[in-house]
Amino acid sequence: MISEAMTGLGKKRSTIREIFEYGNQRAKIVGRENIFDFSLGNPSVAPPDCVTDVINSFVAEERAEVLHGYTSATGLEWVRQAMADSLNSRFGTKFNKDSFYMTVGAAASLCIVLKALACPGDEFIVPAPYFPEYKCWIENTVNCKCVLIPAEPSDFQINFTEFERSLSKNTKAVIINSPNNPSGAVYSEDTIKKLAALLEEASKKYGHPIYLISDEPYREIVFDGIKLPFVTKYYRNTFICYSFSKSLSLPGERIGYVLVPDEMDDCKDVYAAVCGAGRILGYVNAPSLFQRVAGKCADKTADISIYNKNRDILYDGLIKAGYSCVKPQGAFYMFPKALEEDEVAFCERAKKYDLLLVPGRDFGCPGHVRIAYCVQTETIERALPVFEKIAAEYRR
Amino acid sequence: MISEAMTGLGKKRSTIREIFEYGNQRAKIVGRENIFDFSLGNPSVAPPDCVTDVINSFVAEERAEVLHGYTSATGLEWVRQAMADSLNSRFGTKFNKDSFYMTVGAAASLCIVLKALACPGDEFIVPAPYFPEYKCWIENTVNCKCVLIPAEPSDFQINFTEFERSLSKNTKAVIINSPNNPSGAVYSEDTIKKLAALLEEASKKYGHPIYLISDEPYREIVFDGIKLPFVTKYYRNTFICYSFSKSLSLPGERIGYVLVPDEMDDCKDVYAAVCGAGRILGYVNAPSLFQRVAGKCADKTADISIYNKNRDILYDGLIKAGYSCVKPQGAFYMFPKALEEDEVAFCERAKKYDLLLVPGRDFGCPGHVRIAYCVQTETIERALPVFEKIAAEYRR
């Protein structure tokens, strides 16, 4: 007599969470230092000082009933303006406050955009590898069809042959995630240009806009001096779904935004739909103290160089040990090939050494395993001999 | 090509918000001190000191990446145990941590419970006067039928004649809100007992549990030494939807919980459905710093005596001026009869004096007006002559 779908979703924890919980249990037996837990994307680097400074100064100086009071549903004006200013100065865009809707994190941003867009019969395209919750939200939050595109494992850009084939009159939007969880790939300017051209063409062909939903929680975490192409500059019907969880290392506080750019077709109506969706999903306003933190720290990040160092040590070590892997250029994930076709069996073997990895099939890409290297550098250094030992087993 | 329903919901602001925005515009012209804005339920009393103390101590003593990190989706264990302990000590209940699911405020609590329960064809009963968003969520978040019960204006308890008539095989749940927004009425033990008996009987008759959803953001704001009947003690199939917005004066921070009591039929499955619903509505976890604030301050409240004083001054003043009103016993709202049948016309007349009230029809109870007296006491004192002046106009 209750919703079976919801009971099912509540009972089936994600594989990532299962592995993480297993790690916690094992840690109690063999000691935390003997577990090599690469399961969870929980930032290991401390938030930048500005986070604590901003909390302290607002708590000291603002009247508490104002500081913790309701804000407008769209967010505080000055905070939204700060979001615009930060993007404009870094990406050469020309946004203003009225294009931003502050949210309770990236998951909220995505659910709100899906809900704002979805009509019965709509299809949403998701290129693999992808964050597993996308499929869950498309199918359950808005009851639409999730069309998955197989991965392009040579570089983890987009498999455009498959992509073109998947476009149809029912396509409402495409969700991309660059820098990518789980591959760490950053979509090149070429990829974004090609994607934009195909969407432009298909929008014309089918007589309605096909939206691009750019999920960018890792936008600030890029290496090797890469310049990330800012997607709205290439395709006007783009939503940016952002979260400060990873850049400021505060995933528990749930703060992010949806950006509906001025250039978007019918942008006022679309923005209103975003407001309506936020309202009916039960979001009254984004947390008020952390709106202020986001507003004051929008240009800051945690010390990304630590993730860069982790990547270098892990990547070099894996290659040396005989693993094959596309070198990640962002986020804090690596996505090597398993040493046998069945990556679940590979993960089980690793588990015997208390090395915890996530099978690629959860991300729509079997044969690979995800390593979340947002851990202490020392954990990586101590795990590398284990990776070597497993590789040696496979060579036997 | 986007969701028309969402655009509509986003464009049509609630009447309350419209009036509030009007007040802000008027304040710029005639000065804030000349506006008697009783439109919004935004707590006027400062949060208790413990809120600031807890923030300061956690920020000073906990590692920032832990403090602001992900928590379990259900909430921190010690926080959930603190929720249980607080209720157990104050209401003689026997809950434990596993019955609690921390949420991003009361709106989230309600949307999650609705989503956990709703199946196609379900009906949800809402006795008037009611918080307007209930209808919006029932109709739009879960696409079910909202069955409204007319108010019982003699005391704003439940109109049981109408209530009995509205029960059907499709009834999934009843939403109650006591202390009530907008009437300030507190449901008596008799009311709760009668409601429980009717739901018990109907559950038996229709062969499935009919749930009670008790929305209790004003639970801690009661006057005259009233003992609030704790609903789960009278009816086992009750969800408690709570928020700390009003008791701790932090509505902007979005922190609350859903309580699924052990006594509920199939409570494990129902709890799982709550988790599933939270997941697909995009709630990853309740804000982590404010989970801790709630955990440490669960037994505390803002200075409720200020609302009590406001109530007394306003109630006495209105009665003296010839208004007719059920004396509120809780929350911070008063719901007198308008001085003409069409309360919208009455509100328009009051508006000419910059006295801002909300018409009762928005709460399912035309002929009345809501006064949110969570304002400075001085504002009430200065508004009373205006109420008198308007009453005099009607006597002419």
Query: Chain B contacts of A141, Cβ < 8 Å?
Result: 280-282
pLDDT tier at A249, thresholds 50, 70, 90: very high
Residues above pLDDT 70, as percent of chain A: 100
Q: Residue B47: helix, strand or coil by DSSP?
A: coil
pLDDT given at position A15: 84
CB contact under 8 A, A280 and B110: no
Query: How crowded is the C-beta side of B1, counted as CA atoms within 13 Å?
Result: 18
A50-297 has the same fold as A4-48+303-395? no
Query: Chain B contacts of A306, Cβ < 8 Å?
Result: none
Q: From the candidates B211, B244, B254, B332, which should be mutated to test the interface with A, based on the most A CB atoms within 10 A?
A: B254
pLDDT given at position B15: 84
Q: What is the CATH number of domain A4-48+303-395?
A: 3.90.1150.10
pTM of the model: 0.96
Q: Class of the B70-297 domain?
A: alpha beta
CB contact under 8 A, A280 and B107: no
Minimal C-alpha gap between B149 and chain A (Å):
22
Helical pair A106-117 and A267-280, crossing angle rounded to 10 deg: 120
**Residue of B5, B70, B271 with shortest CB distance to A42:** B70
Could you list the beta-strand ranges (E) of A179-281. 211-215, 238-243, 256-259
Contact indicator for A367, A343 with CB cutoff of 8 Å: yes
Instruction: Report the residue of chain B nearest A210, measured CA to CA.
Output: B1
Q: Identify which of B181, B223, B217 has the alpha carbon closest to the alpha carbon of residue B310.
A: B223
**Alpha-carbon distance B118 to B213, whole Å?**
13
pLDDT tens digits, residue range A215-246? 999 999 999 999 999 999 999 999 999 999 99
Burial of A373 (0-12, 13-18, 19+ CB in 10 A): buried
Query: Chain B contacts of A254, Cβ < 8 Å?
Result: 104, 284-287
Contact indicator for A303, A343 with CB cutoff of 8 Å: no
CB contact under 8 A, A284 and B43: no
Computed on alpha carbons and rounded to an integer, the radius of gyration of chain B in Å comes to 21
pLDDT given at position B13: 73
Residues with Cβ < 8 Å from B32, sequence gap 6 or more?
A: none
pLDDT tens digits, residue range A176-203? 999 999 999 999 999 999 999 999 999 9
pLDDT given at position A21: 82
What is the average pLDDT score of chain A? 96
pLDDT given at position B52: 98
Mean pLDDT by 10 residues, chain B (396 residues): 89 82 89 92 95 98 95 95 98 97 98 97 98 95 97 97 97 98 98 98 98 98 95 98 97 98 96 96 96 98 98 98 98 98 97 96 97 97 97 93
Query: How crowded is the C-beta side of A159, counted as CA atoms within 13 Å?
Result: 16
Query: Chain A contacts of B273, Cβ < 8 Å?
Result: 2-3, 6-7, 10
Computed on alpha carbons and rounded to an integer, the radius of gyration of chain A in Å comes to 21
pLDDT tens digits, residue range A261-320? 999 999 999 999 999 999 999 999 999 999 999 999 999 999 999 999 999 999 999 999
Q: Class of the A50-297 domain?
A: alpha beta
Q: Residue B362: helix, strand or coil by DSSP?
A: helix
β partners of residue A146: A124
Query: Chain A contacts of B39, Cβ < 8 Å?
Result: none
Per-residue CA distances from B376 to A112, B217, B332, B380 (Å): 36, 21, 12, 7
CB atoms within 10 A of CB B265: 14
pLDDT tier at A24, thresholds 50, 70, 90: confident
CB atoms within 10 A of CB B83: 27
DSSP B137: I
Q: CA angle, corner A354, sides to A390 and A37, nearest 5?
A: 110
- For residue A159, what are its two tokens? 């498999």
Domain boundaries defined on chain B: 4-48+303-395, 70-297
CB contact under 8 A, A2 and B71: no
Task: Say yes or no: ipTM exceeds 0.90.
Answer: yes
Per-residue CA distances from B387 to A391, B37, B182, B368, B376 (Å): 83, 13, 19, 14, 17
pLDDT given at position B17: 80
**Alpha-carbon distance A360 to A357, whole Å?**
9
Q: From the candidates A45, A65, A134, A265, which should be mutated to test the interface with B, based on the most B CB atoms within 10 A?
A: A65
**Alpha-carbon distance A226 to A221, whole Å?**
10
Instruction: Sheet with A211-215: list strands edge to edge.
Output: A100-103, A256-259, A238-243, A211-215, A171-176, A123-127, A145-149
